[in-house]
Amino acid sequence: MSKSVTFIASPGGSLSGDIRVPGDKSISHRSIMFGSLADGTTRVHGFLDGEDCLATLNAFRAMGVEIEGPDNGEVVIHGVGIDGLKQPANTLDMGNSGTSMRLMTGLLSGQSFDTTLVGDGSLMSRPMRRVTDPVQSMGATLSTAKAGTAPIDISGGVALKAIEYELPVASAQVKSCVLLAGLYAQGKTCVTEPAPTRDHTERMLRGFGYAVDNPSAGVVCLQGGGRLTATEIDVPADISSAAFFMVGASIAEGSDITLQHVGMNPTRTGVIDILRLMGADISVTKEQEVGGEPVADIRVRSAQLKGIRIPEELVPLAIDEFPAIFVAAACASGETTLTGAEELRVKESDRIAVMADGLKILGVDAEPTADGIVIQGGSGFGSGAVESHDDHRIAMSFAMASLRASGDVRINNCANVDTSFPDFVGLANKAGLSIEIN
């Protein structure tokens, strides 16, 4: 990001009204990938027009796929078939998107041409061996920088063979990478996960007519060599983006907000479970299924939260929402303890360290541990300047903290908010926050 963006969030306020946050990022990414590989024309509604998803879209355009839009969330993808991608003229720049880079590593390992994946400074420092190792065991030829980071150079024209892979840690990105390589592998590829992770890849593959099996609990398999058939996709609102408003409404007295048409995939609803354990007042209405994904409206009213020990089985189901959950914990009475979340240290930033630093600046007793954090809750926050470290979720979490702050909260380096939540400030201010962009 070249432009420096600072949020200055004024203290106090409450959240109210009916709002719809932007489309789900995970589903938007996959709609472009699978629509490109499908036979026929795929139409996507509610696509997230954020920089991460546009990086995926532009990569497939660079590989010869005709894509119209996005235009008010509408995208039309003219699929080229499972073997129809063409060699790009240049490296493929994934920007800040770890999802794009990790899933594309699997998908591109089965192509007939060479490719190189790069990204911004943050993405180029994130660990990639977790995806390159299993794909190499399938026969792929690829290399990374010495530290196991991007750039990832992938050689084409290699025959992949199916594997049975046990994930060392629960990770939807690694699972999806292996399954996407499995589309091009000879035989049946199976992935076993130690705990449930988001299953958008499996659901969407089935939506495109590709058979995906679950022979036993925690195991997902697919046979290589099939075809995808174009379909229509309605992208629900992103529960990860809705989470900031769930937390804000929970901690700000007098709040009553309804978040519309939110994706309620059971592998993503850990944030609701955790907040309810803390005493949050959350009700779910208008439940329906749209394009294979459950959606609903979520109403959140302010509540007196209490500290808890977060159950480890919920950690993979809320992995992206923990920065916001830490803000809730800081306003809860008593101690909140998180363990089993070492994955947070290798996100867009080290989210354990960065959140702990920011919480301390705002007067909260927060002690990081190797795989989590211990937060002593209380009356809320002081004022001060915190660093987002170019991490969109850190920036938006501290914006919500202003609702319970005694003075202005200044959040530095917020340009990356646009990767997942375009016009966050506009929607937040409409709902009841007071944020200025500097």
pLDDT, tens digit (0-9, with 9 covering 90-100), for 5-38: 999 999 999 999 999 999 999 999 999 999 999 9
Among residues 180, 200, 234, the one where a domain terminates is 234
- For 277-327, how does the pLDDT look when each residue is reduced to its tens digit (9 = 90+)? 999 999 999 999 887 889 999 999 999 999 999 999 999 999 999 999 999
Domain match, 290 and 223 both:
no
Among residues 192, 211, 234, the one where a domain terminates is 234
Domain match, 49 and 11 both:
no
Collect all residues with Cβ–Cβ distance below 8 Å to 206 and sequence separation of at least 6: 212, 292
Find the farthest-apart pair of alpha carbons in the chain and give their distance in angstroms, rounded.
Answer: 61
The pLDDT tens digits along the chain (438 residues) read 457 899 999 999 999 999 999 999 999 999 999 999 999 999 999 999 999 999 999 999 999 999 999 999 999 999 999 999 999 999 999 999 999 999 999 999 999 999 999 999 999 999 999 999 999 999 999 999 999 999 999 999 999 999 999 999 989 999 999 999 999 999 999 999 999 999 999 999 999 999 999 999 999 999 999 999 999 999 999 999 999 999 999 999 999 999 999 999 999 999 999 999 999 999 999 999 887 889 999 999 999 999 999 999 999 999 999 999 999 999 999 999 999 999 999 898 999 999 999 999 999 999 999 999 999 999 899 999 999 999 999 999 999 999 999 999 999 999 999 988 999 999 999 999 999 999
390 class by beta-carbon count within 10 Å (0-12 exposed, 13-18 middle, 19+ buried): buried
Domain match, 192 and 340 both:
no
CATH at residue 253: 3.65.10.10
Q: How far apart are CA 368 and CA 406, in angstroms?
A: 24
Q: Which two tokens stand for residue 326?
A: 């830490």
Strands, DSSP E only, in 74-145?
A: 74-78, 92-93, 115-118, 141-143
The DSSP annotation for 214-277 comes to: --STTEEEEETT---B--EEEPPBPHHHHHHHHHHHHHSTT-EEEEEEEE--TTTTHHHHHHHH
Is 297 catalytic? The answer is no
Q: Number of folded domains in the chain? A: 2
Among residues 234, 262, 290, the one where a domain terminates is 234
Domain match, 243 and 347 both:
yes
The answer to whether 116 and 123 are in contact (CB under 8 A) is no
Burial 247-263 (b: 16+ CB within 10 A, else e): bbbbbbeebebbbbbbb
Q: How far apart are CA 268 and CA 280, in angstroms?
A: 17
Domain match, 68 and 127 both:
yes
Task: Catalytic residue, from 199, 234, 297, 320: name it.
Answer: 320
Output the CA angle 131-203-292, nearest 5 degrees: 155
